[in-house]
Structure 1
Amino acid sequence: MRQVNGTVNNMITKARMKNIALIVIGSLLYAISVNVFTVPNGLAEGGLTGFSLILFYLFRLPPSYTIFIINILILAIGYKFLDKRTLYYTLIANGIISVLLLLVTQWAFIPETTLLAPIGSGIFMGAGIGLIMLGHGTTAGSDIIAKLLHKYAGINVPTALLLIDVFIVVPSAFIIGAENAFLTLINLYIQSKVIDFILEGLNPRKSFFIISAKYVEIAEAIEQQLGRGITILDGKGYYTKEKKEILYIIISRREVLRIKRIVEAIDPNAFMTISHVQEVTGEGFTYLSEEVQAQRITEAEKEWQG
């Protein structure tokens, strides 16, 4: 019993240390983005970070203080929208970001090529936010406001986030100038792509739906050449009323061309659809996180006690 409890505690401790490490690294990248790329080049940001930068450009208020204070106020208002674990890591992230914004001030990157500033800012900020999210934290601010708008105004969260960014970036154009406002939009676009890249991983997946009378031959060829598991779904044509077998398969992006060539070689008339898969979990694609493993061990222990 003690050994099981010790194993569970060790796994949870390791998971927490991993999350905090991700948050620390992400917060450092966040601070570098603001202090090294964004502020020295007179750029803005979206969300509450952007609002803090507007206060800095107008009144020279340090972003480290305004970001911390504003986020604490937002958390106090909307804490119920975050689960206990996310709230805990969000508070840690907020504190670390504020401290690092004070410490990372001795460097500034002012490039001769104008586009390098928003590119650098977008890469570092996107990577920072992505790592903080991987560590089960958030940068608070806009996320909580978007959820409040969704609850009380009926605006969906992605639209609310976009409106918040527009509400911040458009007025900032009168402070930093139209050119820097357009560069800020480039920064925000790069951020979104880097965040997606961080959260999806280095190898995004694709899904195939294949409808063919020669589905058996196609499935055998895919299994033999790629070693991928395949699911056969039962379907029925609406017009013909004929039953059809549909092959469903999840593959890596680099295997797309090989699958297409296999299908075209066996049945040139086969119907195929290819879709992007946001995330894949389960046997053969991911391992259980340490926290999930710890939870399952705890559940197994309770069953054993019962």
Structure 2
Amino acid sequence: MKSIANKETAKNMMLIIIGSFLYAISVNVFTVPNDLAEGGLTGFSLILFYLTKIEPSYTIFICNIVIIAIGYKFLDKKTLNYTLVANGIISVLLLVVTKWEFIPETTLLAPIGSGIFMGAGIGLIMLGHGTTAGSDILAKIMQKYLGINIPTSLLLIDIFIVLPSVFIIGTENVFLTLVNLYIQTKMIDFVLEGLNPRKSIFIISEKYDAIAKQIETQIGRGITLLDGSGHYTGNKKQVLYIIISRREVLSIKRIVEAIDPNAFVTISDVQEVTGEGFTYLPQEEQAERITEAEEQGLQ
């Protein structure tokens, strides 16, 4: 067991180191030389850098430590430890990776490169059970005290950081930054879960109620409770069935692992999902279709 734990720790550390290196390349090679901004705490650090020339590594390290101290209870011990490690490595690499810069003739190449490297870096850090702290913890605090779900909180934080930067880097570079953020999101999704946009999860555990409550609280997804029984033993079992986006898979796996490491979990690709929480039609068009269906039913 100790050998397995050591291998897992080594694997997570390797992912965090590689992810942090890609993160540093994104900031120092693509973002800063082309006067672009970023979302979250990195964006705040870059604004300070453009105004005062204080190195982003110092700002990121200090601000992350403060945020972690305030919101440490929102992270489990394992994630907290890896987050502290990631924060330290990122801060050091931001000071080390300074010899290269990429200033392309084609303007769009800078935000594309920045988005790919940053998204891949953050994705690898998350795969290593770490986070980049900052925005993640702030989003969880906003969810608890303001009732705003995590994706919306992250978006609001990015908007709050990026929009004021128009007065520092200019309107054109702000739009290029939005391209960067969009590519980051897609790259994180790809690193974490590949190309399939939706997943279905079955969870069988005696602690199903505790798992369901944590998923509803932290992820905000509805859960279907199914009745089941073991064929051989005949024992009654409760089965949780959930449809989620691929970005939520890692969070749910961590919740289940923390509550019941022995839980039986299956994760499958979903070809298509419609209905509450997954309908892609605008509300107006949904209403029109419902009205048409009702009228046809009366005829």
Shift of 1:207: 7.8
Shift of 1:17: 0.3
Q: Deviations over 1:107-134 (max 9, x none)?
A: 0000000000000000000000000000
Check whether the contact 1:205–1:280 (CA below 8 A) recurs between aligned residues. Answer: no
TM-score of the aligned structures, taking structure 1 as reference length: 0.66
Does 1 or 2 have the higher relative contact order (CA < 8 Å, sep 6+)? 1
The separation in 2 between residues aligned to 1:119 and 1:207, in whole angstroms, is 27
TM-score of the aligned structures, taking structure 2 as reference length: 0.67
Pairing partner for 1:278 from 246, 254, 263: 246
Check whether the contact 2:22–2:121 (CA below 8 A) recurs between aligned residues. Answer: yes
The separation in 2 between residues aligned to 1:130 and 1:190, in whole angstroms, is 12
Give the residue type in structure 2 aligned to 1:119: I
In structure 2, list runs of 5 or more residues that go unmatched.
201-225, 227-242, 250-256, 263-299
Shift of 1:156: 1.2
Pairing partner for 2:59 from 49, 53, 66: 66
- Number of residues of Structure 1 aligned to a counterpart in Structure 2: 212
148 and 111 in structure 1: CA distance in 2 versus 1, 3 angstrom threshold: same
Check whether the contact 1:78–1:148 (CA below 8 A) recurs between aligned residues. Answer: yes
**1:39 aligned counterpart, secondary structure:** helix
Pairing partner for 2:41 from 40, 44, 48: 48
The separation in 2 between residues aligned to 1:190 and 1:25, in whole angstroms, is 19
**2:34 aligned counterpart, secondary structure:** coil
Pairing partner for 2:99 from 86, 99, 106: 106
% same residue: 72
The separation in 2 between residues aligned to 1:155 and 1:194, in whole angstroms, is 25
Q: Which residue of 1 aligns with 2:152?
A: 159
Check whether the contact 2:189–2:247 (CA below 8 A) recurs between aligned residues. Answer: no
Q: Which residue of 2 aligns with 1:218?
A: none
The separation in 2 between residues aligned to 1:276 and 1:163, in whole angstroms, is 22
Comparing 152-161 and 69-78, the one that deviates more = 152-161
RMSD of the TM alignment (CA)? Answer: 2.3
The separation in 2 between residues aligned to 1:88 and 1:50, in whole angstroms, is 24
The separation in 1 between residues aligned to 2:198 and 2:96, in whole angstroms, is 42
279 and 42 in structure 1: CA distance in 2 versus 1, 3 angstrom threshold: closer
Give the residue type in structure 2 aligned to 1:64: S
Q: Which residue of 2 aligns with 1:249?
A: none
Shift of 1:158: 0.9
Pairing partner for 2:89 from 93, 96, 111: 96
Shift of 1:204: 2.8
Shift of 1:280: 11
Q: Do residues 137 (structure 1) and 130 (structure 2) align?
A: yes
In structure 1, list runs of 5 or more residues that go unmatched.
1-7, 209-232, 234-274, 282-290, 297-306
